[in-house]
Amino acid sequence: MPGLRVVLTPGVPGPWSEAAKAILHVKKLAHVKVRQELLGSNLPLIRWTAQATAPVAVWNEEPPRSTWIEQLYLFERLAPEPALIPRDVDERMLMFGLANEIFGENGFVWNRRHLMVRDFSGPDQPPEIRESFRFLGRKYGYGDAAAAAAPARCAEVMGLLADRLRSQRERGSRYCVGASLTALDLYAACAYALVSPLPQDLCAMTPLFRAVYTTGDPVVRAAAVPILGEHRDFIYRQHLELPVDL
């Protein structure tokens, strides 16, 4: 099948998948959705893309792109406007640096996942839930050291982003970089679901996944200053589709 195909995980607002969807929405890029089964074997996906996670973007016969930065550059090439990568080199370096703090390995989302494993893989959880999160832990390097470091690492990234938004607000901008929307705004907005998901009427989630996504960690909650949620709400209201289509 020619054209753009995007592998997505249905039913949950996974930050990487939601960010890919957000970019596609902003750029009005036509695409075909391909379903990834959450925690499933995904053997057809492995045969096609050599891995089992989502999102993945495939354009015509080009190699599959399974990382956020590859996908962003592909989407920018296919739909250059509106541009989501700053043209100014200093702004571009800032955007990619903060984006990596959110979405890169050992970034905010990575460490927030460690906390999910910590909180939902214990003996107090039903067996099927416990085993699902233990599987995630094995897949992504969870351990005692990772669990101990994760709250401070999440809070560090949240603090960086909050400081940036305050600085921007003083300049008269509600965006993370410059005076207009960039990919960083979309990444930050989608990642905030792992702190406090959008209300049920705007993002329908099962009770289990709402509990999983809503952080109860005191260090992370202390870092959830109002400006982060205000930015998320602004980006969704002004630029994205509501209610969220999972």
Residue 111 confidence (pLDDT) = 97
CA distances from 44 to 8, 16, 48, 54, 213 (A): 14, 21, 6, 13, 28
Residue 232 confidence (pLDDT) = 98
Give every residue of the chain whose pLDDT is below 70, as ranges: none
Q: Tens digit of pLDDT for each residue in 144-184? A: 999 999 999 999 999 999 999 999 999 999 999 999 999 99
Residue 39 confidence (pLDDT) = 78
Residue 188 confidence (pLDDT) = 98
Residue 40 confidence (pLDDT) = 82
Residue 169 confidence (pLDDT) = 98
Residue 200 confidence (pLDDT) = 97
- 3-state SS string for 156-189: HHHHHHHHHHHHHHHCCCCCCCCCCCCHHHHHHH
Residue 76 confidence (pLDDT) = 98
